Structure 1
């Protein structure tokens, strides 16, 4: 759950990026920040470490982004000035949610024991009756605890076809 501050920063950034026609560039930056924030514990440590000064944090963040656009850079400057750099991951998540909402893109999550390839992604999209693959944002979360198979979360529903779930169901049947 994002903080109210993160949501406000994201909304303001979305409005400015939309006004100046940089929405897709900022979206790419926010997607990268979201991925780093979710996947890299080093990135989270960098943001929350009080011994690293804010200018070094800014340099590190900007060096990770492909196209340093001025809107993203101004956001980072503002976060540095307001001592809010640690919430940049939540801002990125809120920004992406706004972008998806305004562009009628639904979000789906696939949890699997290993990364899924493009062929499997298209099969999954066809199984959940998505005729236009561009209208959905598919996120793959790797969780080795499900052993195998996958879990799909889409539109408030969950389909669990994991080995772990099947083993739990079998255990329930055998104990009854």
Structure 2
């Protein structure tokens, strides 16, 4: 049946180059949605990404030796986990990998960092992202225009730890 996708417990600087390349590929569709090819995920350097990996928690999904997905997060002193840059290789989308990565990072942050709440954001036109997050129990808490890009409204979503793991799609 072939090789299975494995989610690794930790991503580190050894994964940084593959993550950066995958991030660049994955954010092309977001850039096209908002006509913004200068967004941070497309301009982030390898050094910046490596530093970001050192400041928080990151997971990778591997198909053999290839990184085909990733997600990053930090937890603040109040127990709010900020989840960011959930990416899945375009050829691996629509098979549940994004949901698996999201569930894995939530479980890890709850167990290891006592996260009590999860927060993430996406753009208002990113319907696939919004569908995934809402199906996992996230609810919109704010909508704000993006300063640098007037075509983008940033939607922030949150959920309490342990809430809505398998909520119905909204």
TM-score by length of 2: 0.28
- Structure number, greater radius of gyration: 1
Answer 1 or 2: which has greater helix percent. 1
Which structure has the higher relative contact order (CA within 8 Å, separation 6+)? 1
User: Which has a greater percent of strand?
Assistant: 2
